């Protein structure tokens, strides 16, 4: 497949995590026809610790393996109806009262994992896509059979990144807006984890930690350093700092601590321009030409009164180093999207 030099419309928005590093988060598939409504509305998944006869069940034990930030795929009535993100690990919890008669046969002692769910406006029927999905099904404890029917003996199954991303790809074709909310949750959780690690670092003083945390939101020393270099939004010309976002060029979550505070690693942008830049929908050449992700981005810019053909001015050498990474991320994301599109 020929590689393209820039990305078209990003329909796979859940893939906006760094393309340069291996994603540590896992994918899980929950079969919960009987408890779907309770678990989706309640924001969790729950299983008993043992079978009713006291026997061991690996797909119940799997709840204890879920980590904060893991992706959970919801399957009920032959459809994938929701995508979620685990907001923490498991905790011991008795059987939820709202299960009603659905839980009469289950052991009362259980495990609960909180999940931030996003319901799909248009569910996905795996049975219609088995030619794509069958090769990535787990050999043991598969959530669905080769026929595409659900496996009633499996509650929570671990699935591969390959299968998880194919499911998200199928869902994304019809649920782009919904999955952007999911994407935001994933990014927020990843940044939260990094912030937590910073807050307990024995190598940093409390003042250093405070400034690094403020930099995440474009505040503190980082903003001060940036304003020594950039004076206005390069696209709108707005110079009132109260109306501008201090946007990192290299994402805060991917930076070293030095890069997080480096004023050269940023631009002052109007909020709508920041949205485009932060999502890698626009980028810049070193000499200031705007690169767009496709005609739909150009259309949005024109509606906002932005000129996609304008030159925003030269960048200094340090800024250019960061911009090179920004442009490369856009290319990587688009190429990943194309590769997945050939499979789906």
Domain residue ranges in the chain = 25-179, 201-343
- The dihedral over CA atoms of 327, 331, 332, 335, expressed in degrees to the nearest 10, equals 170
Q: How confident is the model at residue 15 (pLDDT cuts 50, 70, 90)?
A: very low
Mean pLDDT of 247-260: 94
Q: How confident is the model at residue 331 (pLDDT cuts 50, 70, 90)?
A: low
Could you list the beta-strand ranges (E) of the chain: 27-31, 44-48, 71-76, 79-86, 91-94, 109-124, 156-159, 245-248, 266-269, 282-284, 290-292
For 46-55, 98-107, 142-151, 213-222, which range has the lowest pLDDT when averaged over its residues? 98-107
Q: In whole angstroms, what is the distance from residue 242 CA to residue 226 CA?
A: 14
Q: Please, which residues have CB within 8 angstroms of residue 146's CB and are 6 or more apart in sequence?
A: 130, 134, 137
Mean pLDDT of 296-323: 93
**Average pLDDT for the chain:** 85
The pair of three-digit structure tokens given for residue 117, joined into one six-digit string:
């769910």
- What is the per-residue DSSP string for 228-295? TT--S-TTT----GGG-EEEESS-GGGS-HHHHH-TTSEEEE-HHHHHHHHTTSEEE-TTSBEEES-H
Residue 23: predicted pLDDT = 43
CB 18 within 8 A of CB 194: no
Quick one: what percent of the chain has pLDDT higher than 70?
A: 85
CB 86 within 8 A of CB 68: yes
pTM above 0.75, yes or no: no
Residue 111, pLDDT above cutoff 60: yes
Q: How confident is the model at residue 87 (pLDDT cuts 50, 70, 90)?
A: confident
* CATH homologous superfamily, domain 25-179: ph1033 like domains (3.10.590.10)
Q: Please, which residues have CB within 8 angstroms of residue 49's CB and are 6 or more apart in sequence?
A: 60, 107, 109, 110, 111
Structure-model confidence comparison of residues 184 and 191, the more confident one: 191
Residue 327: predicted pLDDT = 85
The pair of three-digit structure tokens given for residue 121, joined into one six-digit string:
């406006």
Residue 337, pLDDT above cutoff 70: no
Q: How confident is the model at residue 154 (pLDDT cuts 50, 70, 90)?
A: very high
């Amino acid at each position: 497949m020929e590689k393209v030099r820039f990305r078209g419309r990003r329909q796979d928005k859940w893939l906006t995590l760094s393309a340069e590093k291996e994603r540590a988060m896992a994918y899980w598939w929950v079969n919960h026809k009987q408890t779907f409504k309770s678990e989706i509305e309640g924001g969790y998944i729950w299983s008993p610790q043992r079978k009713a006869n006291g026997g061991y069940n690996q797909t119940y034990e799997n709840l204890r393996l879920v980590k904060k930030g893991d992706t959970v795929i919801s399957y009920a009535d032959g459809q994938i109806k929701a995508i979620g993100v685990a907001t923490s690990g498991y905790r011991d919890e008795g059987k939820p009262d709202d299960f009603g008669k659905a839980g009469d046969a289950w052991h009362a002692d259980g495990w609960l994992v909180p999940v931030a769910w996003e319901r799909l406006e248009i569910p996905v029927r795996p049975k219609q896509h088995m030619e794509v999905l069958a090769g990535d099904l787990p050999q043991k404890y598969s959530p669905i059979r080769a026929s595409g029917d659900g496996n009633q003996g499996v509650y929570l199954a671990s699935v591969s990144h390959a299968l998880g991303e194919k499911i998200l790809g199928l869902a994304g074709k019809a649920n782009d807006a919904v999955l952007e909310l999911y994407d935001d949750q994933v990014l927020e959780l990843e940044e939260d984890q990094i912030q937590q690690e910073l807050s307990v670092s024995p190598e940093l003083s409390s003042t250093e930690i405070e400034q690094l945390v403020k930099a995440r939101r474009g505040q503190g020393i980082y903003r001060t350093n940036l304003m020594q270099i950039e004076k206005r939004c390069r696209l709108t010309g707005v110079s009132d700092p109260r109306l501008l976002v201090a946007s990192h060029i290299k994402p805060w979550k991917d930076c070293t601590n030095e890069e997080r505070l480096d004023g050269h690693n940023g631009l002052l942008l109007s909020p709508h321009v920041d949205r485009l830049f932060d999502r890698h929908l626009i980028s810049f050449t070193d000499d200031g030409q705007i690169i767009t992700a496709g005609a739909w981005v150009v259309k949005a810019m024109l509606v906002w009164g932005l000129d996609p053909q304008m030159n925003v001015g030269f960048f200094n050498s340090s800024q250019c180093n960061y911009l090179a990474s920004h442009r490369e991320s856009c290319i990587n994301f688009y190429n990943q999207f194309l590769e997945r599109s050939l499979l789906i």
